């Protein structure tokens, strides 16, 4: 049964829905527990989970942007073509999911250039957008924007300007802006309150907070800031049955597994309550 098409009373703004396509064992926080050498032998769940997401988006007539790993597109070309054939934007999450902040400029450039080539070969479309793993571009490695621009991308969505032990730029601009290198950076959505930025655009926070709080935060961004929301999630976040990594420390375990079983229902509500589209189309509309 198809869900009704929402009318979005009072909110006419088109927001950007983005998905970071990686498997559960590639998450940066799990790097200390799952060596890269095991990626090819772990049970893969990404195909199944992205298929579920494609069906869900179809139910609401929503097109989204899929920031996809080059590593994934080489192994699951059919999946990448399904994303493109269903009308979504294919974008890049780099090749090997290494944080920009942990690489030399040369290694980082090689990784994002390879990802663009691989994704364009498999998807048959131009790749315009890039998102750094774990929002790992900050004040200390602003050179990364120059690499993204030189590699041929036209925009980046690599900053989540909040205080976080893994992310890069807590006091960075909250909305789309040009970098010194002539690149357009489109940060994930935050809400400004009590003199600091609070997470609103996805990640573990969306699973942690009651949905009504998330909705209130995002509505404020549309109505008060008069800016579109940039929201993101991962395929593994809708997969409550994913294999458990047993040795995780308490904080990582809490962040990774919290409320996975509630995620699809919340996402469906989010798809119903707001107007969503692809990042590239939203950028075109707002320029």
Q: Judge contact between 226 and 14, C-beta under 8 A.
A: no
Using CB under 5 A, which of the segments 3-11, 131-139, 237-245, 256-264 binds Zn ion? 131-139
Q: How far is the CB of 281 from Zn ion (least distance, A)?
A: 23
d(CA 18, CA 3): 21
Distance in Å, CB of 93 to Zn ion, minimum: 6
Task: Say how many residues touch Zn ion, by CB under 5 A.
Answer: 3
Which residues have a Cβ under 8 Å from the Cβ of 85 and sit 6 or more positions away? none
Q: Which parts of 21-40 interact with Zn ion (CB under 5 A)?
A: 22
Q: Which stretch binds Zn ion (CB under 5 A): 14-22, 34-42, 48-56, 157-165?
A: 14-22
What is the Cα–Cα distance from 161 to 182, expressed in whole angstroms?
Answer: 20
Q: Smallest distance, Å, CB 178 to Zn ion?
A: 24
Q: Which is nearer to Zn ion, 20 or 275 (CB)?
A: 20
Q: Which is nearer to Zn ion, 15 or 136 (CB)?
A: 136
Q: Which stretch binds Zn ion (CB under 5 A): 50-58, 132-140, 154-162, 248-256?
A: 132-140
**In the complex, what is the shortest distance from the CB of residue 23 to Zn ion, in angstroms, rounded to a whole number?**
10
Residue 70 touches Zn ion, criterion: CB under 5 A: no
Q: Residue 1 CB, nearest distance to Zn ion (Å)?
A: 33
- Span interacting with Zn ion, options 54-62, 127-135, 170-178, 203-211, rule CB under 5 A: 127-135
* Smallest gap from residue 90 Cβ to Zn ion (A): 15
Q: Structure tokens of 177?
A: 């802006």
The residue among 114 and 222 lying less far from Zn ion, judged by its C-beta, is: 114
Q: Are strands 177-178 and 184-185 parallel, antiparallel or unpaired?
A: antiparallel
What number of residues does the chain have? 287
| CA–CA distance, 13 with 19 (Å, rounded to integer) | 20
Per CB under 5 A, which region of 38-46, 105-113, 129-137, 221-229 contacts Zn ion? Answer: 129-137
Shortest spacing between CB 3 and Zn ion, in angstroms: 28
Q: Residue ranges of the alpha helices (H) in 32-158? A: 46-59, 70-75, 77-85, 105-123, 143-150
Beta strands in the chain (DSSP E): 14-21, 65-68, 89-92, 129-130, 155-156, 177-178, 184-185, 190-193, 196-199, 230-233, 275-277
Rounded Cα–Cα distance for residues 125 and 120 (Å):
5
Query: Rule CB under 5 A: is residue 20 a binding residue for Zn ion?
Result: yes
* Tokens 């080489």, located at residue: 74
Q: Which is nearer to Zn ion, 23 or 185 (CB)?
A: 23
> Is residue 237 a contact point for Zn ion (CB under 5 A)?
no
| Cβ(277)–Cβ(62) below 8 Å | yes
Closest to Zn ion by CB, 20 or 185: 20
Of positions 123, 133, 138, 161, contacts Zn ion by CB under 5 A: 133
Q: Which residues, at least 6 apart from 7, have a Cβ–Cβ distance to it below 8 Å?
A: none
Task: For residue 280, give the 3-state DSSP assignment.
Answer: helix
Q: Which two tokens stand for residue 12?
A: 């006419």
Q: Which residues of the chain form contacts with Zn ion (CB under 5 A)?
A: 20, 22, 133
């Amino acid at each position: 049964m198809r869900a009704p098409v929402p009318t979005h009373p009072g909110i006419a703004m088109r927001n950007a829905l983005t998905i970071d396509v990686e498997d559960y064992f590639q998450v940066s926080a799990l790097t200390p527990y799952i060596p890269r050498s095991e990626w090819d032998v772990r049970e893969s769940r990404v195909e199944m989970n992205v298929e579920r997401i494609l069906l869900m988006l179809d139910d609401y007539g929503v097109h989204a942007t899929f920031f996809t790993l080059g590593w994934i597109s080489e192994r699951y070309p059919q999946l990448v073509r399904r994303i493109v054939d269903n009308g979504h934007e294919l974008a890049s999450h780099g090749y090997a999911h290494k944080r920009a902040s942990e690489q030399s400029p040369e290694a980082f450039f090689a990784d994002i250039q390879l990802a663009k080539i691989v994704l364009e070969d498999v998807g048959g479309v131009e790749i315009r957008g890039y998102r750094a793993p774990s929002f790992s571009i900050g004040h200390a490695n602003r050179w990364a924007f120059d690499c993204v621009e030189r590699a041929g991308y036209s925009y980046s969505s690599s900053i989540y300007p909040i205080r976080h032990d893994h992310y890069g730029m807590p006091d960075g601009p909250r909305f789309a802006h040009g970098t010194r290198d002539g690149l357009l950076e489109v940060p994930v959505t935050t809400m400004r309150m009590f003199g600091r930025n609070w997470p609103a655009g996805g990640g573990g926070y969306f699973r942690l907070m009651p949905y009504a709080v998330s909705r209130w935060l995002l509505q404020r961004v549309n109505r008060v800031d008069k800016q579109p929301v940039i929201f993101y999630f991962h395929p593994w976040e809708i997969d409550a049955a994913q294999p458990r990594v047993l040795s995780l420390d308490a904080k990582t375990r809490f962040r990774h597994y919290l409320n996975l079983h509630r995620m699809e229902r919340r996402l469906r509500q989010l798809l119903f309550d707001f107007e969503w589209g692809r990042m590239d189309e939203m950028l075109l509309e707002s320029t």
